[in-house]
Structure formats: structure tokens, C-alpha cells
Amino acid sequence: MKKTVVIDIVALSANLIGEHTPFLKKYVEKRHLTAIKPVLPAVTTTSQSTYITGKWPVDHGIVGNGWYDKDDSEIKFWKQSNKLVQADKIWDAAKKADPTFTCSKMFWWYNMYSTADFSVTPRPQYHADGVKAPDCYAYPPELRDELQEKFGQFPLFSFWGPNANIKSTKWIADASMYVDDKHNPTLTLIYLPHLDYCLQKFGPDFSKISKELGEIDKIVEDLVTFYEAKNASIILLSEYGINPVNNHIDINRILRNEGLISVRTERWYELLDAGASKAFAASDHQIAHVYLNDPTVKDQVIKVLKATPGIDLVLDKEQQKEFHLNHDRSGDIVVVAKPDSWFTYYYWLDDAKAPDFAHLVEIFKKPGYDPVEMFMDPKNPFIKLRAGYKLGRKLLGFRYLMDVIPLDATLVKGSHGSVNVPREYFPILVTDEPQTKEIEAVDVYDVIWKHLVQ
């Protein structure tokens, strides 16, 4: 099989390629750029799983970055076991066709316990005293130590949160080239998250994101130069584009005002009690999965959501079939925002009763995705001093909470997830071989396969 690398430049869309990305502009001009019709939902885990299985969410089961676990009665986001993807992966098919085939999976999601030969993914250490320490998980296990000895500790706090920056993306790129030099995998999948940060914070505002565009352009140039020297087939792609937003929808607050949400009080704050709620939402960028513990409230929920400004689609299980999303994990109702809107996870009605984790970067405890985690509270003039004090406590070994995240959803200026966005915000595919002007997300599998077997 032909050596192939797939470089996932997260959030790259055609409208971003230009003067601020000189390498990409020149590279694309000599190749073929194809729009990928976004899968619903157009989010990381669903898009990636569709690409590497060639199946729709109804078949592979990844209906979003998180969903409601009906057995545990818990909303779970950002799980990592590859066994959650309920379809064969492209590297499994390749191994059957060629026993010498190997695959390196560098930070693509669901990267634990997969059948890929080499893999690395973020995995913090959670100490008994509550400290969260940067780290990563790798297979084979010794690869983790090799990479962190070579490139330093994986910069977890540059991967997500207010301090997200190019360091994490550069670490991933450097690690990918190291693994390639040492093991020469047939297929390499590389995840470059850098544009996700600035675009969700600012939207496609070139006056604010030009620096980040230049930074990712240089990383891509380094990778392309490296793999061209290895005579590899190179595929550039993205999972979604990010379009501007100016409206947020507090879907759980809407359901709570309808008397459908249950909460329990611990200390001074409220926790969403999903198992006891008649209806609740797991929000995920521009889509929300609404689950009904009480089927009799279905008509009530549909009526109030259809009347909510900013909502584009309200899909029951039968209507989800049109979008290949009607899996057991999907909501009884799936709600899609209009292109200028997105869904918060907020469920409390009084910020004084917000849970303590609402002010933290805490992706596992929140019952939905929270892009506000990329900001430190701009209304607090002493917030950086507060963060410095908390960091000092950490370095001295004291317990601390880095509670610097605001509760202001108006800060977010970019989002994704909907399929009803202008074509300029579609994800893209760049290859040496011509494609049609637009392909379905499931067709990306065939594109990768043809590069492998050419």
C-alpha cells in the first residue's frame, strides 16, 4: 500500500485560505480543493468517525461529542475508548488487505484501545488531592515516555482553555514526525486543533485571527515538506468550518421554565439531575440532543422549541432518518440551531446558584459543551492576578480551583455543528487527485482508501 498522511486542520474552510496563509494558498492552487458536505452534527467526534468508517452516525453510533448514557443516567462528553465507534475502521480493512500495513493515529479522537498500531491522545493525570496534571496516553505505552522526553510534557493547558495556543499543535506535529521517522507507518492521521480556538472566540474576523492563521500555515508547511520528502500521498481536510454567531440559546433554561428539568442542591449550587428530569438537553455547539424520560411531554417540548428564536430544525426520531442520525444514542428530539446561533448547557436560573465547575475548565462534569471555557472573565480587572495566585498555590502544592471562567455566553463569536450553513463554511478536502466539487462526509473514506491502494 502507498504511504499516506491525512492532516486534519480543524475548522479550516475555503474562506480562510488567502493572504494570511501563504503556504496553503500556494499549495491549494496546484491541487484540487473539494467541499465536504457536513455531516449532522458537524462536530469533531462525529466527523472523524464518519471519515474513518465510511458510515453515517446511525451506523457508527457517534451522534456527537457526548450523549446521555441511559444505563448510568448520566450525560457523558469526550469519552475516549475506540470501542464506542460501532463500525470497522479503515485501518482494519487495510490490515486485511495488506498484512504489512500499519497505522499511526496522532490525536484523532477515540484513540484509546483502538487497533491502530501507534496512537497518542490527551489524558491528564487526576491526583488524589484534586490536582489535574498535564499528560497524554500512548500506545505502545513506552511511546508516551519517548515523546515527552523528546518534546517535553504534553502542553495540556495549551490544548484547551483560556491559554490554548500553537504550542499543543506544534507538539502534535513534532510527535507525528518523530513516530513516522521511527516506525514508518503506512497511514498517519494527524489532528491539528489550533484554529478551533480563535475561530470560536472571534469568528472569521481576520483582524483578530490573522496571527493564528499564519501559525497554522507554518505548521502545515513543515508537515507537508516532511511527508513530501517521504514520497507520501498527502490529504488535507477539516471536520467543519466555523461561521459567525451572535445569539445563544439556553435550551435547558427553556425546558426548566416549562417545569421539565429537575435539579438537586448541593452546598449553595444546583446540579442538573438528568435521570429525574422529564426532559433535558445535552447541548453540543449548534445541536442539542433532547432526551425524554417522560414520553408524554414530547408534544410540549416540540411546541416550545419550535417557537424559540434561533432554532432551525426540531427532529423527532423519524425525522432524524433524513440526516442518518436516528441511533439509539441520539436524542428523542434533536434540535439544530440557525447558522447565527448556538446552544449553551446552562440550566440554572440564578448565576449565584451556578455549580462550582461552571467557572472551571471542566469538560467532563458539564452536561454539555462550553466554549466559554476559552475566556478568562473580562469583567474582572484582577482576573489575571487571580489566575497567577491560583497557579502559585498549585506550584507550592496547595489545593486550588482555577475558577476564572465567566458565565457570559455573548463572548462566543463562532460556532459549528449545523449542516445548514453557507458553503463557504463547509469543511474541505485537498488532494492531488481531482474530486467532484462537493462530496458527502462518508465519501472521505473512499478518498483515503484510493490513496492507499493507488
Q: Tell me: the pLDDT tens digits for 332-356?
A: 999 999 999 999 999 999 999 999 9
Alpha carbon of 396 to those of 130, 135, 361: distances in Å? 14, 20, 21
Q: In terms of Cα–Cα distance, which of 282, 287, 295, 286 is closest to 252?
A: 282
The whole-number pLDDT of residue 328 equals 98
Residues 6+ apart with CB under 8 A from 41: 63, 64, 284, 285, 286, 287, 325, 336, 417, 418
Helix ranges (DSSP H) in 353-443: 383-395
Measure the N-to-C terminal CA separation of the chain; round to a whole number of Å.
7
- Confidence class of residue 397 from pLDDT cuts 50, 70 and 90? low
The whole-number pLDDT of residue 433 equals 86
Residues 302-322: tens digit of each pLDDT: 999 999 999 999 999 999 999
Sign of the CA dihedral running 375, 379, 384, 390? negative
- Confidence class of residue 175 from pLDDT cuts 50, 70 and 90? very high
Residues 77-122: tens digit of each pLDDT: 999 999 999 999 999 999 999 999 999 999 999 999 999 999 999 9
Alpha-carbon distance of 322 to 283, in angstroms, equals: 21
Residues 277-287: tens digit of each pLDDT: 999 999 999 99
| pLDDT for 387 beyond 90 | no
Asked if residue 132 lies in contact with residue 138, where contact means CB atoms within 8 angstroms, the answer is no
Q: In terms of Cα–Cα distance, which of 206, 200, 178 is closest to 19?
A: 206
Any bridge partners for residue 235, and if so which? 6
* Local structure of 183: helix, strand or coil: helix
- Confidence class of residue 414 from pLDDT cuts 50, 70 and 90? very high
| pLDDT for 386 beyond 70 | no
Amino acid at 411: L
Alpha carbon of 251 to those of 215, 258, 299, 344, 393: distances in Å? 36, 11, 16, 7, 37
Alpha-carbon distance of 109 to 60, in angstroms, equals: 14
The whole-number pLDDT of residue 394 equals 59
Ranking 5-19, 117-131, 132-146 by mean pLDDT, the lowest is 117-131
The whole-number pLDDT of residue 379 equals 74
The whole-number pLDDT of residue 322 equals 98
Composition of the chain by helix, strand, coil, percent to 5: 40, 20, 40
Asked if residue 193 lies in contact with residue 212, where contact means CB atoms within 8 angstroms, the answer is no
Average pLDDT over residues 205-225: 98
Residues 265-303: tens digit of each pLDDT: 998 999 999 999 999 999 999 999 999 999 999 999 999
Q: In degrees to the nearest 10, what's the CA dihedral of 38, 43, 49, 51?
A: 30
Report the greatest alpha carbon distance in the chain.
Answer: 62
Any bridge partners for residue 438, and if so which? 35
User: 202 φ, ψ to 5°?
Assistant: -115, -10
Q: Phi-psi region for residue 138, left (φ > 0), alpha (ψ -120 to 50) or beta?
A: beta
Alpha-carbon distance of 339 to 313, in angstroms, equals: 11
Alpha-carbon distance of 85 to 75, in angstroms, equals: 17
Query: How much is the pTM?
Result: 0.95
Omega before 162 within 30 of 0, i.e. cis: no
Degrees to nearest 5, angle at CA 356 with 355 and 361: 110
Q: In terms of Cα–Cα distance, which of 369, 356, 347, 346 is closest to 277?
A: 347
Asked if residue 285 lies in contact with residue 369, where contact means CB atoms within 8 angstroms, the answer is yes
Q: How many CA atoms does the CB half-sphere of 254 hold within 13 Å?
A: 23
Omega before 57 within 30 of 0, i.e. cis: no
Alpha-carbon distance of 359 to 263, in angstroms, equals: 19
Any bridge partners for residue 335, and if so which? 288, 314
